[in-house]
Amino acid sequence: MTSDASRDPRRAGLSRRRFFGLAGAGTAGVLAAGAAGGVIGHATAADPTAAGTAAATDAVPFTGDHQAGIVTPAQDRLHFVAFDVITDSRDDLVEMLQAWTAAARRMTAGQDAGPVGAVDGGQYAPPDDTGEAIGLPASGLTLTIGFGPTLFTAADGTDRFGIAGRRPEPLAELPSFPGDALDPARSGGDLCVQACANDPQVAVHAVRNLSRLGAGVVSVRWSQLGFGRTSSTSSAQATPRNLFGFKDGTDNLKSENGSAVERFVWVADGDPGADWLAGGSYVVTRRIRMRIEPWDTSTLAEQEQTIGRTKGAGAPLGQQAEFDPVDFTVRAGTGPAIPENSHVFLAHPTNSGTAILRRGYSFVDGSDGLGRLDAGLFFIAYERNPETGFVQVQKNLRMDAMNEYIQHTSSAVFACPPGISGPDDWWGRALFS
Amino acid sequence: MTSDASRDPRRAGLSRRRFFGLAGAGTAGVLAAGAAGGVIGHATAADPTAAGTAAATDAVPFTGDHQAGIVTPAQDRLHFVAFDVITDSRDDLVEMLQAWTAAARRMTAGQDAGPVGAVDGGQYAPPDDTGEAIGLPASGLTLTIGFGPTLFTAADGTDRFGIAGRRPEPLAELPSFPGDALDPARSGGDLCVQACANDPQVAVHAVRNLSRLGAGVVSVRWSQLGFGRTSSTSSAQATPRNLFGFKDGTDNLKSENGSAVERFVWVADGDPGADWLAGGSYVVTRRIRMRIEPWDTSTLAEQEQTIGRTKGAGAPLGQQAEFDPVDFTVRAGTGPAIPENSHVFLAHPTNSGTAILRRGYSFVDGSDGLGRLDAGLFFIAYERNPETGFVQVQKNLRMDAMNEYIQHTSSAVFACPPGISGPDDWWGRALFS
């Protein structure tokens, strides 16, 4: 196959764009279409954590100490998918993870998942790529894998793949929280892949081709599309607005704050499971339905008191500008300017005692049959330990005034291994070796 | 209010971007985020039908002979919504249509739907805009309204608004077709609004604010998000790919072909309902689920025989390049190069005897609980008469080889009035006057 590869540009790994010769003037529109996904400032090729200089069309490096898609400056579009593993064969699972890694390596570089035209001219075999991203550039695609608790020990207690003993203690089902309305069918999962890109077609293409490669080994459990990143993960990115109309993520952990990222995001030597998870992280996802209609009929004052910031500038209440420091001692009238049951008060590291790296997206999934938009925030948070990360923050939000306007409808947690170290590495190697 | 307007920049209609002073360097990211929705080539400000020169951030004119969003070069993102009217009051309905028109006029110009800060400082009133598009440019937003058959005569036969006699005969429920699997809850509707933009947040914001303004008068019946326009409506646009991985819309009606557009798209004097509908059109929507997994396991040869074009270049079978003329007389082996049950053969104007203006979008709505992606094409077609447009084409597709891979899951038809003529005009004026 090596000699084939050197002759066949598809196998030699040229980009989708170059192979199909679509860079000519007549098709510039499609290229631009893929190019302009919505956000500047994702990683440069040289340094995936340095923001602000790369074009939205560029590739983000697939290899590194950490997986891309965590501190990588947030791209603007998401397709997140959770899989059930439907085989008991460890060999089949490992083989699929190796095939996924190879395809992810290609797709994040802007290539197809495999040759579109089969060697026999397509008479007897399906294409090795589904084709809808032909002509589109890499678009900042990152693919980030995670392993759920049920991969280690199935719901019925079975140790299907001989890795039950390697589950790190913090990788466990999350506790239930007051107000949860979780749909089991779109919660949990044995594996997850977070696909982020600046073009939704590129993200969707990646998830679809991984699903295709996993036929017979995995089955899609649930998937979620998102748009309009609701957090900045780099100080070079402007703060976006969520569907409450407020700036979101002003005080998020930023990739430039290396010491905080080390402390709160990456699993370190000595942590549980560090033999295979050091340099990795945990991801918690929560599909948070927003009660759009009651929110839209609440007064501006109530909205601002609920959040703890102004709607226009995004300034902390009692301050003038977005990045003015949050000061909980400032008074307004007879009480604190930032109410003690506001979201900012309760979620702020000062009061929650911890920090998480948020990386969520807005969603609108049509309507709910009762005349309401099925919309909200697909919350994604990375942390070194779910117990001292998301769970600790969420417990502190018990009295959050925002709870009146939201409902958590799905929940999942996964352990995300460290980055791919080189050409022979594959997703899960340290865990399965 | 006129004097207020001259003093208050929000009321004077400055852009969202200018009012909030977000154009400075520190927030360039948010602006760019909105700017880069994905596609070049929508209308210029001067001529909404001339493509290829405007930026994806620009505004498309709201007024004109025809509604924008039909022959306007297709933007890359869609939020389509259908409403039930929940009142029997003609006055309330008319008042809402007037408020919608005013808000649509503002939002398509890149302004908020109304002042974000209420005059009283927000103590007693909700904001008149929900805020999530603050800082985002117009992004090519078009809002296109349509009236469903049930607006004229309710399902129970009632003439709620005194317009039953004005229903044009072609505005009727579509016939059922073999293989239809329509979900009534996401079919039909009294009113529709098609929101297209180059930034999904701008499209979502527009639909949400119209829903908010319609509280008590309308209720969302269903809504659909889409991405990656699957047709070109201008010859200046490159042909995109649908989720089958094939170029879609190569031979679509293009806005530059004025005589065909006049013949097949716009309702003309003398047509049924022309007293209020001349210069308008009909829109048919079909949510077409694609059976992604079986498609992905079919051979390249079968895929190409099903479509009638090559997957790589998009050339008609038997030809070399995408825009080579479709020639049904070319033979390959013992049969025609383009099989007589291929989609291209049956849908082509030569064989269907008619033409429609397609303006659809891809969708992925998560998964279906059976391990399959709930994905496909949200088909949108504009035509002068549904009977001689969509229905005639669809009848001709009865033996289409593609039917094995698709299923229609929702259906709707609406009559779209002509364009807004000036500052005092409003959506539906000719119908309700």
Write out the two tokens for B413.
């038809």
User: How far is Cα B314 from Cα B250, in angstroms, rounded to an integer?
Assistant: 8
How much is the pTM? 0.88
**Residue B386 and residue B280 in contact, taking contact as beta carbons nearer than 8 Å:** no
Residue B290 reports pLDDT greater than 80: yes
Question: Torsions phi, psi of B356, nearest 5?
Answer: -130, 155
Residue numbers in A near B185 (CB within 8 A): 369
CB nearest A300 (choices: B81, B127, B222): B127
Write out the two tokens for A49.
């954590």
For residue range B320-345, list pLDDT tens digits in order.
Answer: 999 999 999 999 988 999 999 999 99
Q: CA distances (Å), B264 to each of A319, B104, B253, B257, in order?
A: 59, 27, 9, 11
For residue range A317-341, list pLDDT tens digits in order.
Answer: 999 999 999 999 999 988 999 999 9
Provide the percentage of residues in chain B whose pLDDT is more than 90: 76
For residue range B361-370, list pLDDT tens digits in order.
Answer: 999 999 988 8
What number is the average pLDDT over the span B24-33?
Answer: 31
Query: Of B104, B103, B124, B97, whose CA–CA distance to B115 is shortest?
Result: B103
In this complex, is the C-beta atom of A122 within 8 Å of any C-beta atom belonging to chain B? yes
Higher pLDDT, B11 or A135: A135
CB nearest A126 (choices: B222, B236, B297): B297
- Predicted confidence at residue B170, as pLDDT, reads 98
- Predicted confidence at residue B118, as pLDDT, reads 55
User: How far is Cα A386 from Cα B416, in angstroms, rounded to an integer?
Assistant: 52
Write out the two tokens for B33.
């985020």
CB atoms within 10 A of CB A63: 15
**Residue A212 and residue B296 in contact, taking contact as beta carbons nearer than 8 Å:** yes
Q: Dmax over Cα atoms in chain B, in whole Å?
A: 79
- Predicted confidence at residue B117, as pLDDT, reads 62
In this complex, is the C-beta atom of A40 within 8 Å of any C-beta atom belonging to chain B? yes
What number is the average pLDDT over the span A233-259?
Answer: 91
- Predicted confidence at residue B116, as pLDDT, reads 67
In this complex, is the C-beta atom of B121 within 8 Å of any C-beta atom belonging to chain A? yes
In this complex, is the C-beta atom of B399 within 8 Å of any C-beta atom belonging to chain A? no
- Give every CB contact of residue B17 below 8 A, 6+ residues apart in sequence: B23, B31, B110, B135, B136, B137
Residue A34 reports pLDDT greater than 60: no
Residue A365 reports pLDDT greater than 50: yes
Query: Of A165, A81, A222, A174, whose CA–CA distance to A394 is shortest?
Result: A174
Residue numbers in A near B118 (CB within 8 A): 299-300
For residue range B244-261, list pLDDT tens digits in order.
Answer: 999 998 889 999 999 999
For residue range B112-132, list pLDDT tens digits in order.
Answer: 998 766 556 667 788 889 999
In this complex, is the C-beta atom of A37 within 8 Å of any C-beta atom belonging to chain B? yes
In this complex, is the C-beta atom of A240 within 8 Å of any C-beta atom belonging to chain B? yes
Average pLDDT across chain A, whole number = 87
CB nearest A237 (choices: B29, B122, B204): B29
Cβ separation A40–B33 shorter than 8 A:
yes
In this complex, is the C-beta atom of A373 within 8 Å of any C-beta atom belonging to chain B? yes
- Predicted confidence at residue B55, as pLDDT, reads 84
Burial of A321 (0-12, 13-18, 19+ CB in 10 A): exposed
Query: DSSP label at B222?
Result: E
For residue range B381-430, list pLDDT tens digits in order.
Answer: 999 999 999 999 999 999 999 999 999 999 999 999 999 999 999 999 99
Q: How many inter-chain contacts (A to B, CB under 8 Å) are there? A: 277
State the nearest Cα–Cα gap between B204 and chain A, in angstroms.
8
For residue range B145-157, list pLDDT tens digits in order.
Answer: 999 999 999 999 9
Average pLDDT across chain B, whole number = 87
Cβ separation A118–B300 shorter than 8 A:
yes
Residue B47 reports pLDDT greater than 50: no
Residue A13 reports pLDDT greater than 70: no
- Predicted confidence at residue B35, as pLDDT, reads 31
What number is the average pLDDT over the span A361-386?
Answer: 94
Question: pLDDT tier at A120 (50, 70, 90 boundaries)?
Answer: low
Query: Using CB atoms and an 8 Å cut-off, which of residues 85-114 of chain A contact chain B?
Result: 86
CB nearest B131 (choices: A212, A246, A293): A246
User: Three-class SS of residue B67?
Assistant: coil
Question: pLDDT tier at A116 (50, 70, 90 boundaries)?
Answer: low
Cβ separation A36–B56 shorter than 8 A:
yes
Provide the percentage of residues in chain A whose pLDDT is more than 90: 77
User: Three-class SS of residue B348?
Assistant: coil
Provide the percentage of residues in chain B whose pLDDT is more than 70: 86
- Predicted confidence at residue B15, as pLDDT, reads 52
Query: Using CB atoms and an 8 Å cut-off, which of residues 16-35 of chain B contact chain A?
Result: 20, 26-35
- Predicted confidence at residue A73, as pLDDT, reads 94
- Predicted confidence at residue A11, as pLDDT, reads 36
What number is the average pLDDT over the span A94-115?
Answer: 95
Question: pLDDT tier at B316 (50, 70, 90 boundaries)?
Answer: very high
State the nearest Cα–Cα gap between B85 and chain A, in angstroms.
11
Question: pLDDT tier at A121 (50, 70, 90 boundaries)?
Answer: low
Cβ separation A116–B300 shorter than 8 A:
yes
Query: Using CB atoms and an 8 Å cut-off, which of residues 321-360 of chain B contact chain A?
Result: none
For residue range B212-235, list pLDDT tens digits in order.
Answer: 999 999 999 999 999 988 888 898
State the nearest Cα–Cα gap between A2 and chain B, in angstroms.
23
Residue numbers in B near A56 (CB within 8 A): 36
State the nearest Cα–Cα gap between B30 and chain A, in angstroms.
5
CB atoms within 10 A of CB A275: 11
What number is the average pLDDT over the span A28-36?
Answer: 31
Query: Using CB atoms and an 8 Å cut-off, which of residues 135-194 of chain B contact chain A?
Result: 135, 185-186
Domain residue ranges of chain B, discontinuous segments joined by +: 2-11+25-236
Residue B358 reports pLDDT greater than 60: yes
- Predicted confidence at residue A15, as pLDDT, reads 52
Most B-contacting residue of A22, A86, A300, A306 (CB-CB within 10 A), to test interface: A300
Question: pLDDT tier at B34 (50, 70, 90 boundaries)?
Answer: very low
For residue range A401-426, list pLDDT tens digits in order.
Answer: 999 999 999 999 999 999 999 999 99
Residue numbers in A near B131 (CB within 8 A): 241, 244-246, 311
Residue numbers in B near A28 (CB within 8 A): 40, 238
Residue B166 reports pLDDT greater than 50: yes
Question: pLDDT tier at A115 (50, 70, 90 boundaries)?
Answer: confident
Pairing of strands B281-290, B142-147: unpaired
